[in-house]
Every structure is written in structure tokens, then in C-alpha cells.
Structure 1
Amino acid sequence: MGFVVAAILFAAGCGFQLRGSVEVPPEYNPIFVQSVGGSTVRSAIEDLLVGSKVRLTEDRGEAKLVLRILSEQRSSRVAAVDANGKTLAYELHYVVRFDALDASGQQRVPPQTLDLQRNFDNPDVEVLGKQLEEELIYEDFATDAADRILMRLRAVLV
């Protein structure tokens, strides 16, 4: 029992915070996230903010900060082929552009681009499983992008 308490105190002392514990100054709360319909990054940002002190609003007029997801793009390119020209691996890319404006429309975070990439093997077997795996990788990209966007917001605003 004493070990658990010591570990919790150590983690709290070093600045460790549980996921979902995002800090944004009160003067920028609530936040409105503007994006195109079906944005996976927006969904990931909303998931990361659950349980935090940051409030999201659906009313842009009420927002003290507008986080704009300017674009999200998925792409892939061939990374490796065999002697017969069959594709063995792809390089997957997920590019997200964003910025942030305060309530008066002044830019608080200039437009920034995140380019996430990962190699994806393409063996001949389990074609359906590979399609699902690719979708899961893109979902991971969206979560990673959301986490990085929130870290950059915090760095600029705090």
C-alpha cells in the first residue's frame, strides 16, 4: 500500500498527468472546434478532452477560442516492391493543417501542418485483415494528431 502511495506522489511531483487532463487557460474556455463533417481529428480531440477542465461548445459565438482543422488528408505511396513488381509495403501519410483564433478573430496559433507517416506491409495473405489494419492505423494517426494539436495549443496559450 505504501508503495502505491509513493508512486502516486512521485508521478504527481514530476508533472505527470493522466490522459484527458488538458490544461488551457480559463480565458480561452470554452473552445469551439471547426472542421469539415466527419473529421476524425475532431472526434479524437473531443475524446481526449473528456474528463478535462476544457469545455467544448457547439456555439461559435460563445467560444473564447476557435480551433480550426483546416484540412485532413490521407495518402499512401509504394515503399517496396519485389522482383516481379508486386507491392510489398506502402508508406501511409496523414496530413493535418490547423490554426486557432481567439474570440475577436485574432490568430493565437498560426497555421501549422502535422505530417504523420508509417510503413505498412502488404503481404498476399489476409487481404481483408490488412484493410482493417490500415483503417486502424489512420485512426491512430488521428488520435496522435489530436494529442499533438492539444500539446501545441497548451504550449502557445499557457
Structure 2
Amino acid sequence: MLVGLLLLCAGCGFQLRGSVEVPAEYNPLYVQSASDSLVRLAIKDLLVGSKVRLTEDRSEARLILRILSEQRSSRVAAVDANGKTLAYELHYVVRFDALDASGQQRVPPQTMDLLRNFDNADVEVLGKQLEEEMIYEDFATDAADRILMRLRAVLVPVGGDGGQ
């Protein structure tokens, strides 16, 4: 029964989530961003083991993914009767686009705004700071995953292998 299930999954084109395909004419990929970009690091991690090759040489790239900006922000979401902050709303905004080797825009500039509530307990202040950093790292991974999905959707030719 297990073998039958594996054959069924292999035959239908099933791929694990995070499996990324970029058409051969856009491989290798260069990611242009700030050196401390969390999204860039997450993209590199997501592409490990995929058929997409990353290059550090922009002139070698056939597709240039530009992370135009990454911004963090927070605002108070809830306060108690004494005015003490009970929760924050964390935002992570990422802007990106993609160009082919000739400089023609393949993916127009797009913005993603990721949002999550963050409880602000009065205890374990250091732990809360670490938790907030982990949330922003999760945001970067989510943004990277969404960017790669959008690249695939836009770059795979219509009538091609885009229906998987």
C-alpha cells in the first residue's frame, strides 16, 4: 500500500512544499539585497537541494531577484486600564522585483506586508526580545517562500509545467 501511494504521488507531479522550479533560461539566479538581509538568507536556505542555482556573480545571472527594501515596525495593539502595553502588532514589509539578464523587468515591483500580534507579558523581558527576533526571522522565511512562489508563477510559461 505504501509503495502504491509513493507511485501515485510520483506520477501526479507532487512535490514537497518549498520545492522551487525556475525555467532553465532563468538559471542561475542572483539575489541582490543588503548584506544583512534576512530574506536573502532565507531564500538561500529554501533553495538548498533545488535545481535552482544561485550565483554570487551578477554578470553570470540570467535572473536577478532584487530585494528592494525590508522594514520592521511595531505598534501598540492593546493596553490595560493603567496604560501598560499588553500586546504589539509586528509588521514586516518586503519590496522586491526581478529582472532578466538584459535588464528587462520579469516581475514588477511588489510589496508584501506580513503581520502578527505579539503579547507583551511583564515577565522575562529578555525572553520576549528573543521571541520578537524569532518572529522576524519567521517573517523573512515566509516572505522568501512567497517570493519564490510568485517567481515560479510568473516565470513558468502558460501551458508549460505550471499546473503542478
Tell me if the contact between 1:21 and 1:52 (Cα under 8 Å) persists in the aligned partners.
yes
- What whole-Å deviation, never above 9, does each CA across 1:80-119 have from its counterpart, x for those lacking one? 0000000000000000000000000000000000000000
RMSD, matched Cα: 1.2
Unaligned runs of 5+ in 2: 157-164
In 2, are the aligned partners of 1:20 and 1:50 still within 8 Å (CA)? no
User: AA paired with 1:82?
Assistant: D
Taking the aligned partners of 1:148 and 1:27, their CA distance within structure 2 comes to: 21
Secondary structure, counterpart of 1:142 in structure 2: helix
Q: Is 1:53–2:51 an aligned residue pair?
A: yes
> After superposition, where does 1:78-157 map in structure 2 within 5 Å?
78-157=76-155
TM-score normalised by the chain length of structure 1 = 0.94
Query: 2-side partners of 1:142 and 1:116: how far apart?
Result: 9
CA contact (8 A) 1:20 1:52 kept: no
- 2:18–2:145: 8 Å Cα contact kept in structure 1? no
**Distance in 1, Cα, partners of 2:131 & 2:5:** 36
* Superposition deviation, residue 19 in structure 1: 4.3
Q: Distance in 1 between matches of 2:11 and 2:143?
A: 27
Count the aligned residue pairs: 156
TM-score normalised by structure 2 residue count: 0.91
